[in-house]
Amino acid sequence: MLKIENLHVGVKGKSEILQGINLEVNPGEIHAIMGPNGSGKSTLSSVLAGRDDYTISAGTVKFDNSDLLSLSPEERAIKGLFLAFQYPVELPGVNNLYFLKSALNSIRRARGEAEFDALDFMQFVKNKLKELEMDEAFLQRAVNHGFSGGEKKRNEVLQMMVLEPKLAILDETDSGLDIDALQAVAKGVNSLRDPSRSFIVVTHYQRLLDYIVPDFVHVLANGRIIKSGGKELALELEEKGYGWLVDEKV
């Protein structure tokens, strides 16, 4: 589904942040990417979603056999890629329900599928809210505006559940969440698990992985994946920290 080969990425005024990433994600798999601060985790998520602040100096990314890096952010979403932002953006004056409906209908329109009308969409989104234990009042608020940290993250997961992507990247969706919110978010993710749907879960801590159990764990440090393993690797990291891996490599 996703194949990253030798990806090198820099940002203006800084040396290369990603220095040759290789990663393959197959349908149905959950990959966790862990690593210390500044290792390039968020850069990887942003580049995959199409943020244009970066320069890609080498490498390719194939998503369902198309060249992901040549697509606009909206084309990537239409193809089924979704990024849950580490810092969800506030949109004062944009109604959350309207936003969700516009997003889903834009994607459906681009795919040649029938658009939802207001009533059907309302029913559809209410069911998703229930799964996330979110209040319906969320729909009438401005997108993320004045939301608490936890509410913003839940709202990201709500968007994911509405858009039903093929590949969802969760960029530190667990940071700033209390245990209840963490469980609700994990429940949302797990409800979307499907043999044809994949996840990349970017996180600092092993805790989230108790609830969203990964098939693979990768350690990203200094712009490279320095170790990959099964879910037990996350436990090892929790116990020993990142130091032993980073030192070993250097």
Binding site for other proteins (CB under 8 A): 49-52, 72-74, 76-78, 82-83, 85, 88-89, 91-94, 99, 102-104, 106-107, 110, 142, 159, 163
Cβ 70 to other proteins shortest distance, Å:
15
Q: Could you tell me where the DSSP H helices lie in the chain? A: 41-49, 73-78, 96-110, 118-131, 149-163, 179-192, 207-211, 232-240, 243-249
Name every residue whose Cβ is closer than 8 Å to that of residue 108 and which is 6 or more positions away in sequence: 114, 115, 116
Cβ 206 to other proteins shortest distance, Å:
28
Task: Output 41 or 79, the one with its CB closest to other proteins.
Answer: 79
Task: Output 85 or 242, the one with its CB closest to other proteins.
Answer: 85
Q: Are 41 and 202 in contact (CB under 8 A)?
A: yes
Cβ 52 to other proteins shortest distance, Å:
8
Task: Output 198 or 206, the one with its CB closest to other proteins.
Answer: 198
d(CA 205, CA 107): 33
Task: Output 78 or 122, the one with its CB closest to other proteins.
Answer: 78
Among 210, 198, 183, CA closest to 25: 198
Cβ 102 to other proteins shortest distance, Å:
6
70 token code pair: 């040549």
